[in-house]
Amino acid sequence: MSLPEQLLLSDLLRRRVRCHQGIDHGAGLQGWMHPPVHRLLGWVSKPSAFGSRRLVWRLNQLRGLSDQEALVQGEPADTDPATLERLPTLFDAALLGGDSQLLGVIADANVDMRSGRIVSYLVARSDPRLPGSSRWLLSPERIFDQQPGQVMTALQGLDDLPLARASVRQELLRRSRRWKEQFDEVGGRFEERLEGWLEEPPWQEPEPLDAREDWDDPEAWGEPLRQDSAAPRRRPEPRRPQPLDGDPPEPEDPWI
């Protein structure tokens, strides 16, 4: 089972750790990193829901991923919550802008699985535990100073960062902004077309009918009229039958 080239730390932590002996060592709890070089060294799992025992796994112990499990090989290192609290980390640290204003919280990281190098951090504006919240990509090159619990940048706002995942509210705001820009663009095109119509010369009036020289010439309008076309056609009279031999002749019509 091959590993992906890049993986989100949250995708690794949501899986339960299972070793080569088939033992379930619990779900992922937190990442183990080296902040000065922005590198992920491993992660921590919690084997028991009620105990204080913690297990630390190196990143190179990871052998495969399934839908619900992270398959590892080798033995972990035992530790306790007090020791984990003293480990330096940038996760859950506050992100500060150029004027020391709070912009968000570093909630996740995109990790190169071959070297453990953190390609980019994911910043959340609100509580990272809320489902469907937006995420912005922060490259390590934009961090110029870091202290325990704080990361300093020269950003003026989260809009200076590319958006990795938009929430429903953020997507609605972005679509509304795009619709407004399209409406303004269509309105500008209509105004330009209207100004072009107003600048065109006035319409030319058609030539009056009296000015046509061939108005009285019937041949100018097509085939000339025939002289006898208007005369009514006379209905032919019915033929009278010839009298047979021996029949008395018909009397003449007194009205003719």
In the chain, pLDDT over 90 holds for what percent of residues?
52
Q: What is the pLDDT of residues 45-88, one digit of tens each?
A: 999 888 889 999 999 999 999 989 999 999 999 999 999 999 99
| Angle, alpha carbons 196-200-203 (nearest 5°) | 135
Tens-digit pLDDT profile for residues 89-98? 999 999 999 8
Write the secondary structure of 30-87 as one string of H (helix), E (strand) and C (coil): EEEEEHHHCEEEEEEEECCCCCCCEEEEEHHHEEEECCCEEEECCCCEEECHHHHHCC
- Nearest to residue 119, comparing CAs of 93, 144, 138, 142? 138
Domains detected in the chain: 6-165 (2.30.30.240)
Phi-psi map region of 49: left, alpha, beta (phi>0 left; psi -120 to 50 alpha): alpha
- Convert the pLDDT of each residue in 161-215 to its tens digit: 998 876 545 555 555 666 666 666 766 666 667 666 666 555 555 555 555 555 5
Rounded Cα gap, residues 40 and 116, in angstroms: 5
Tokens of 65: 């991923």
d(CA 85, CA 107): 17
Quick one: which of 29, 24, 35 has its CA closest to 9? 29
Closest CA to 26 of 1, 6, 51: 51
pLDDT of residue 256: 44
